Structure 1
């Protein structure tokens, strides 16, 4: 049995995502001999950022200009005049970008990464290059970290059916056809697993599934990831998806994928595969109850086969996990807890074993814990073991502003190599905090932030604007806490990401929206795959007023935050902080007279 695991575009280009390495490690440990994994996002980005690709692109732009100019003599299709202007602009920019595009990529992979001007310029050039490529597919816009398909909603099955076949607006059809399918089909896997975990991957991922099925209908194609985990009920009503995909694995995928491999090799009784959604005899079946892994029986993520040298950073920052789920499930706005159903804590010793193995195998010095939040007592034991065993790695993680998060524990975390902590602040107004069921107090936030800055641990804060019933002055309390706290926002590595409140499917607030001041919930009839909802409120800012204020908050916070690298990428920021710490240690200290 040959298994091929694929991660479609687009994700952040400086580090791999954890899903495929976790599955690969588990399957390999269970004795599945032939498992390959590919990050198609970084593969394609690397291919596109070459002069050899550029030669073909130039000719495509010339041909597109000529065809659009011919159209002008007859009827002009929607967007043709604007697309023509974009294509002409792209051809004007082309020589400048052509000369610099490979250098930009190599700069980010070398020492130039740590030169902030070179870093910014390289990312800017790459984004402009992707804009040139996008002009062929107007109004679609590809960026380094996202895909925006202008005419299509990713939440509408009718739109998705069209988007995955639209050669004019979907760049991934030709990119996959030319640069992925030949090698995939030559490899001839029996099972192809596609991980769709971000909204930016929905159209590319389903496009990939369609092309695989068209070229090799006998291949078994399975889709996993958090997007469709949140759409379990919707999948029952979307039979067309099962023309592209044989089945979906929802929630956690390790045991499910292993059992799927076993069934394909044996009796093919798919009712035995946990967490599987499949179509049989025209009927869509959901295998329940959903299964959660014993995470102490999981092995370390296996990055074999991932092209770690292709990521746009000078050294790998590898994602790892210490726990799954969230030990605090009460935040009214949060749908993240759905992905893992319940909280489970991995043994600290096993996690340290994983870090040691990953460091030795891949030369990784920096790690990104993807946990929803670290629990305090296990964190203490983890840090003790990291210090005792002299693991000597740098890392970042997420914590809550807990009353019991002491300066002592923060000191221990710093001594164990923690360089930055991500906090979900959401609001600094106590009424709103309480209404969100955050379970935190203003004074805890102030103390913990001060302790982190004093100890040299960088801080990231997530902020939400427009939670139901929030008034403008309450939202400004949060903004003023960040903007007015010079000690915090002038500390090295600080970042803050304001977000506009989104009423998400499966969030606790949806179980009783009326008690949160939500008067009416709406969803366009066409958006049958929506992960969120429109709504009206009884009091506080309307969604439109909240959006307006969000822009103001975003702009004000942006004035005091270092956008690149710290607000752009946690992984890049971690490397910058590690470099700054290393250089500080090398500065000779003045001697007394």
Structure 2
């Protein structure tokens, strides 16, 4: 893939001309509701400097979620859940899809129409948010709500505020992505927002340009749906797609140019960084010029296997326009702001890495914004909030030292976190003290592996013997450490996989959070580009995978085939459980690099959690329910794990799509008739209650259920 590297933004090289050209930038659902992504503020700032003042931005993600969370909308959802239960309970035979829906619908038992809005109030309240038992009730409420939302769409398709890339719809398969009926069904939960506030917005003005910023795979279905709605109502509007998810489709399409099949409502695609290309698009539309030939922009005629990627000169960019967002709309007690003082990774060597807008290296080229410009940006940012996440790949040690020393002089100090490398020079340069003085509350580290041999194969440039001293310095300065790694790298032995966990357990007093995943082989990584050097044989992709995000491969040293998405089962459950210190993941407290986690670090230090013991939740959002149902074996009903396993089985045996999994979903389930009482815990966990009698009174049963809920982490 070729690159177009701007030495300075093109908008600086021509005379500024004021224009009120109406343009609209959209952040589509579904993604993190606790903070906005930062791509659109960068685009708007560049457009304003170029003289374009007619823009409007909509975070359709938070707008849609807040709309759906209204008690009247939640009330209607609860009514639909009750209707689903009645329909299924009256059915003679249940399919697996019925069982999935019944499990979800049963989760509505005992809920009130305001349970979601009350949970959001907890997230926004400065006292309830930091009372962890109360906070956890709000988190569980969100999990229950998302499960219920699937009743209006595809079962098991929404979790952790993302539309899942499986197990029922394959977001790498064009048969699914290009079928409007599939997209409409998948995005069905958002119909009240799309048909109401969103269409009102599209009708508000004759938008000349509409841009959809798609950073995550989970946003793609709604982005395609919204683009179709825009095209139907504004056929003359220039529709532009950009963002890292769009870039992945351009880079990884198995057939060059095939991505235009899914972006059928788009006129233009920006597969790289967008500030300069976006300004050039606005200029061309304003001046009535042809849109072809803009560097870093693809038109329908561009189907080259190596399209150009634009990389900005970050030193010349204006301060992001954070005033485009309504910060009170987000689900946090105070704003947490994403900001990028650097782009790309200065190390840029790790052989597993294939991240973002890269071409011939693991990440995009490393660029640093002058520290004095960063300080000026931060002074403006503090007008919106004082908590910042530096959204960077990795900052060089030299740059980090300069930045920390300068940040100590900020008029309004900020609390911040970032992802950094485990630099061996940190202790000798007293870097932890510098970080603390600059306002740092937590650091995420790509620890990767507990085996030095594997780290050397990765070309990580880290010695495991240096890591404890680096972490001890952070402990002394009360800075949280979040350790990220994976098992399953090519040629990794079983004992080396276990060692990745054991190293953390041996030093468990030095880190705050940890997340260990399973290695996935990506096409742009150095491993994939030189498989023989890593004892890797790349296997054929299933025909359903039109977007080659991840590759199946064979570890020739282990004699084992590895499939994307599989969990590494070589490590025992006990080791896995011992490194988990939280019940929740993104976007909630305990999820690495999330707004809520950063705020908890800022409030409670490296321990993350408030002191124990804490009392019960201050609210009763999710009462324990114990209805009677006409089925005797609710625990045996089909669940998420069953669907996921079937999805991966199909993938390995020819390909997975909504069509190929439909016969399995429509197959007969395991439901058995027979009345039983079930307990529904706050988390939605459901189990059959033993029949009272023989000394087990109803009150005793309720006490046991509550104890089970507490042990389950529900209370």
TM-score w.r.t. the length of structure 1 is: 0.90
Name the residue aligned to 1:154: 171
CA deviations 1:357-409 (Å, max 9, x no partner) are: 1112x1x1100000101111111111111113444110011211122223512
Tell me: CA distance 1:456–1:515, structure 2 relative to 1, closer, same or farther (3 Å). same
Q: Distance in 2 between matches of 1:319 and 1:479?
A: 31
Match of 2:374 among 340, 351, 362: 351
Deviation at 1:217, TM superposition (A): 1.9
Contact 2:538–2:551, Cα closer than 8 Å, also in 1: no
Match of 1:269 among 280, 287, 290: 290
Tell me: CA distance 1:453–1:173, structure 2 relative to 1, closer, same or farther (3 Å). closer
Gaps of 5+ in 1: 588-593
Contact 1:172–1:204, Cα closer than 8 Å, also in 2: no
CA deviations 1:78-134 (Å, max 9, x no partner) are: 65532552465145x2x4242422211101101211011111110111110121121
CA deviations 1:408-465 (Å, max 9, x no partner) are: 1221111010111111000121000001111111122122111111221110111111
Match of 2:364 among 320, 336, 341: 341
| Larger helix share, 1 or 2 | 1
Q: Distance in 2 between matches of 1:426 and 1:288?
A: 32
Contact 2:309–2:357, Cα closer than 8 Å, also in 1: no
Contact 1:104–1:123, Cα closer than 8 Å, also in 2: yes
Contact 1:165–1:207, Cα closer than 8 Å, also in 2: no
SS in 2 for 1:180: helix
Name the residue aligned to 1:591: none
Name the residue aligned to 1:2: 22
CA deviations 1:307-332 (Å, max 9, x no partner) are: 21121110001001111111111101
Deviation at 1:205, TM superposition (A): 1.5
Contact 1:461–1:496, Cα closer than 8 Å, also in 2: yes
CA deviations 1:503-529 (Å, max 9, x no partner) are: 012112111012111123221112111
Tell me: CA distance 1:287–1:518, structure 2 relative to 1, closer, same or farther (3 Å). closer
Q: Distance in 1 between matches of 2:571 and 2:181?
A: 33
CA deviations 1:182-231 (Å, max 9, x no partner) are: 22222332111111111111212112212221232222111101122233
Name the residue aligned to 2:602: 578
Structure 2 residue 522 is the aligned partner of structure 1 residue 484? no
Contact 2:480–2:606, Cα closer than 8 Å, also in 1: no
Q: Distance in 1 between matches of 2:601 and 2:195?
A: 40
Contact 1:90–1:135, Cα closer than 8 Å, also in 2: no
SS in 2 for 1:567: coil
Contact 2:343–2:368, Cα closer than 8 Å, also in 1: yes
Contact 1:374–1:397, Cα closer than 8 Å, also in 2: no
Q: Distance in 2 between matches of 1:84 and 1:242?
A: 31
Name the residue aligned to 1:107: 122
Q: Distance in 1 between matches of 2:575 and 2:278?
A: 42
Q: Distance in 2 between matches of 1:302 and 1:201?
A: 22
Name the residue aligned to 2:468: 446
Tell me: CA distance 1:324–1:350, structure 2 relative to 1, closer, same or farther (3 Å). same
Tell me: CA distance 1:31–1:333, structure 2 relative to 1, closer, same or farther (3 Å). same
- Larger Cα Rg: Structure 1 or Structure 2? 2
1:382-461 maps to which residues of 2 (within 5 A)? 382-406=403-427, 407-461=429-483
Q: Distance in 2 between matches of 1:263 and 1:288?
A: 20
Match of 1:215 among 211, 214, 233: 233
SS in 2 for 1:114: coil
SS in 2 for 1:130: helix
Contact 2:250–2:259, Cα closer than 8 Å, also in 1: no
1:313-352 maps to which residues of 2 (within 5 A)? 313-336=332-355, 338-339=357-358, 341-352=364-375
Q: Distance in 2 between matches of 1:164 and 1:438?
A: 45
Tell me: CA distance 1:337–1:249, structure 2 relative to 1, closer, same or farther (3 Å). closer
SS in 2 for 1:510: helix
Structure 2 residue 146 is the aligned partner of structure 1 residue 130? yes
Contact 2:352–2:527, Cα closer than 8 Å, also in 1: yes
Structure 2 residue 485 is the aligned partner of structure 1 residue 468? no
Structure 2 residue 197 is the aligned partner of structure 1 residue 189? no
Tell me: CA distance 1:559–1:165, structure 2 relative to 1, closer, same or farther (3 Å). closer
Contact 2:105–2:151, Cα closer than 8 Å, also in 1: no
User: Which deviates further from its counterpart, 438-447 or 162-171?
Assistant: 162-171
Q: Distance in 1 between matches of 2:595 and 2:575?
A: 22
Tell me: CA distance 1:166–1:67, structure 2 relative to 1, closer, same or farther (3 Å). farther
Name the residue aligned to 2:526: 508
Deviation at 1:68, TM superposition (A): 6.2
Contact 2:186–2:221, Cα closer than 8 Å, also in 1: no
Deviation at 1:550, TM superposition (A): 5.6
RMSD between aligned residues: 2.7
Contact 1:421–1:460, Cα closer than 8 Å, also in 2: yes
Q: Distance in 2 between matches of 1:313 and 1:143?
A: 19
Gaps of 5+ in 2: 1-20, 612-715
Q: Distance in 1 between matches of 2:97 and 2:355?
A: 41
SS in 1 for 2:29: coil
User: Which deviates further from its counterpart, 540-549 or 241-250?
Assistant: 540-549
Name the residue aligned to 1:37: 57
Tell me: CA distance 1:270–1:304, structure 2 relative to 1, closer, same or farther (3 Å). same
Considering Cα pairs closer than 8 Å and 6+ residues apart, tell me whether 1 or 2 has the greater RCO. Answer: 2
Tell me: CA distance 1:503–1:539, structure 2 relative to 1, closer, same or farther (3 Å). same
SS in 2 for 1:243: coil
Q: Distance in 2 between matches of 1:100 and 1:517?
A: 53
SS in 2 for 1:384: helix
Tell me: CA distance 1:42–1:357, structure 2 relative to 1, closer, same or farther (3 Å). same
1:530-569 maps to which residues of 2 (within 5 A)? 530-540=548-558, 542=560, 543=562, 547-549=568-570, 552=573, 555-560=576-581, 563=584, 565-567=589-591
Structure 2 residue 74 is the aligned partner of structure 1 residue 54? yes
Contact 1:49–1:102, Cα closer than 8 Å, also in 2: yes
Match of 1:89 among 78, 93, 106: 106
